[in-house]
């Protein structure tokens, strides 16, 4: 797109709950060990939402930080996009609850569901609105209360997930020089929808006792098959983003990947020949926070001085659906 309007990052924010659940804590309840979890996932601990916390409250906390860092008041926000698989309720949207919390009543507010890929999908939507000149400020929030939809007796899934939120405020700027989101690339393949799924019926057959008894309202995952697909799709879509912008690996200051599993991230890095010291890793602290993982990673990178003006960052993700995507940001 050759528009003179750009989608620049004006502010960022992140929030994680106070409660920490360590691998040692899980050892007491499951047939598992710190060594088993760390070796297979890279995760040492994860955060768990308090009873009074949810996707909307955590999302609002992260969004408030993003607005404060950008010095933009809530009434200047034109749109709020919340990317979540764990909405507070079926409807209204979690974004409307965030809007109420922020008092951002001049905005349109809605949710999107692309699971772990949600934040990159949300960025892509916001990018189009801003580059078209339609809006000036858009909040993109990834927020997840994953602990509410995991089966805590299933060691293959419950060890992986954590709760948290991250937010980015995008601002329309008018200039010819590249800034902000240079491009985004998003894809889906519904033929692989059974790899990661919460299969319990809602609209299909209504919430029912059989699905409850079979624990079908919790995450089910085919780990080995997901690993192979994730490495291939994430690597390819990152390469696509680099080629689209005439960039080489050496031009990238930071890779901010979805934090699903350390082995996936390492395999992608090896395939791309990307130096691991230039990769943001938060999985050891927070686990897989689904749509929140990339904006939490951005917040972590900014707070530790790993992102500087003029730097190039690449985002890469694979999630349930199957969904996958990438984006290139110039800070």
Rounded CA-CA distance 65/215 in Å is 36
DSSP letter (8 states) at residue 321: T
- Among the listed residues 23, 236, 261, 288, the single catalytic one is 288
- Among the listed residues 23, 137, 258, 261, the single catalytic one is 258
96 flagged as catalytic: no
> Strands 137-145, 108-112: parallel, antiparallel or unpaired by DSSP?
unpaired
Structure tokens at 223: 């780990």
Q: Which residue has the tokens 């904006």?
A: 295
- Among the listed residues 116, 158, 185, 261, the single catalytic one is 116
User: For residues 220 and 161, is the Cβ–Cβ distance under 8 A?
Assistant: no
Q: Which residue has the tokens 């299933």?
A: 154
Rounded CA-CA distance 262/118 in Å is 20
Note the maximum CA span of the chain: 58
Phi, psi of 36 (to 5 degrees): -60, -45
Q: Which residues contact 35 (CB under 8 A, 6 or more apart)?
A: none
Rounded CA-CA distance 299/12 in Å is 6
258 flagged as catalytic: yes
Structure tokens at 80: 């709020």
288 flagged as catalytic: yes
User: For residues 237 and 295, is the Cβ–Cβ distance under 8 A?
Assistant: no
* Count of other CB atoms within 10 angstroms of residue 33: 13
Q: Which residues are catalytic?
A: 116, 258, 288
């Amino acid at each position: 797109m050759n528009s003179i309007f750009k989608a620049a990052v004006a502010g960022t924010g992140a929030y994680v709950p106070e409660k920490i659940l360590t691998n040692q804590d899980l050892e007491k309840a499951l047939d598992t060990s710190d060594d088993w979890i760390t070796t297979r996932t890279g995760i040492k601990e994860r955060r768990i939402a308090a009873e009074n916390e949810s996707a909307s409250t955590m999302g609002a906390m992260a969004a408030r930080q993003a607005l404060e860092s950008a010095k933009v008041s809530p009434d200047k926000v034109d749109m709020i996009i919340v990317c979540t698989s764990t909405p507070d309720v079926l409807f209204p949207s979690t974004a409307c609850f965030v809007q109420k919390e922020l008092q951002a009543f001049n905005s349109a507010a809605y949710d999107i569901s692309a699971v772990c890929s949600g934040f990159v999908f949300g960025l892509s939507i916001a990018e189009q609105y801003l580059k078209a000149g339609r809006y000036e400020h858009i909040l993109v929030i990834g927020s997840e209360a994953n602990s509410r939809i995991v089966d805590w007796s299933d060691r293959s899934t419950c060890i992986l997930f954590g709760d948290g939120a991250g937010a980015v405020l995008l601002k329309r700027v008018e200039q010819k020089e590249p800034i902000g989101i240079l491009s985004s690339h998003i894809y889906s393949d519904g033929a692989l929808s059974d790899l990661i799924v919460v299969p319990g019926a809602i609209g299909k057959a209504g919430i029912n006792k059989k699905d409850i008894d079979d624990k079908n309202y919790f995450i089910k995952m085919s780990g080995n098959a997901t690993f192979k697909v994730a490495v291939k799709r994430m690597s390819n879509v990152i390469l696509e983003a680099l080629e689209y912008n005439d960039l080489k690996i050496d031009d990238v200051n930071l890779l901010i990947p979805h934090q699903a599993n350390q082995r996936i991230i390492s395999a992608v890095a090896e395939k791309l020949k990307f130096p691991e010291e230039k990769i943001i890793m938060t999985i050891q602290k927070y686990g897989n926070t689904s749509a929140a993982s990339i904006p939490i990673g951005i917040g972590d990178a900014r707070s530790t001085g790993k992102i500087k003006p003029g730097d190039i960052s690449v985002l890469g993700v694979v999630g349930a659906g199957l969904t996958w995507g990438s984006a290139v940001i110039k800070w």
